[in-house]
Structure 1
Amino acid sequence: MKKLVVLGGGESGVGAAILGQVKGYDVFLSDRNQLKNKYKNLLQEYDISFEEGQHNKERISEADLIVKSPGIPDSVALIKDSIKAGIEVISEIEFGFRYCDAKIIAITGSNGKTTVTKMVYHILKSAGLSVAMAGNVGDSFAMHLATQKADNYVLEISSFQLDGCVTFKPHISILTSITPDHLDRYEDSFELYRASKFRILKNQTSEDFFIYNKDEKSITEYLNQINVPVQMIPFSRTHLQQDLSAFIENNKIQINLPLDKSFSMSVDNLNVKGAHNAQNAMAASAAARLLKIRKQTIRESMESFKGVEHRLEDVRKFENVSYINDSKATNINATFYALDSMTKPTVWIVGGVDKGNAYKDLLNLVNHKVKAIVCLGLDNSKIIEAFGKSVDDVIETDSMEEAVLAAQHFAVTGDAVLLSPACASFDLFENYEDRGNQFKKVVNNL
Structure 2
Amino acid sequence: MKFLMIMVFMGLNFATPIALQAASKESNLEHDISQSPAPQITDAGLNLQQAEQLAVQRDSVSKSFKQNEMAFVDQARATDTWQDPRIKLGMQAVPIDTFDFEQENMTQLIVGYQQMLPRGDSNTHASESMMAMSRTQTALAQRRQRQVLMQVRQAWLDVVLQKKTLDIIQANRVLFEQMLDISQSFYASGRQQQQDVVQAELEISLVDDRLERARSALVVAKANLAKWVGEENMLKGVAADQADLRLPGMKSLAELKQHLENNPELIAMQQQVIGQQKKLALADDQYSPQWGFDVTYGFRSGNNGDNPANGERSDFLTAMVTLDLPIFTENKQDRNVSAEKQRLQATRYRQLDVNRELLKRLMAVMGRLQKLKDRHQLYEDKVLPQARQNAEVSFSGYQSGVVSFFTLTRARVTELNTRLADLQIDVAYNKAFAELQYLIGENS
**Same fold per superposition (TM over 0.5):** no
Instruction: State the TM-score bracket (shorter-chain normalisation).
Output: under 0.3
The one of the two structures with greater contact order (alpha-carbon pairs below 8 A, sep at least 6) is 2
Decide which structure has greater strand share. 1
Decide which structure has greater helix share. 2
Using structure 1 for the length normalisation, give the TM-score.
0.21
**Structure of larger gyration radius:** 2
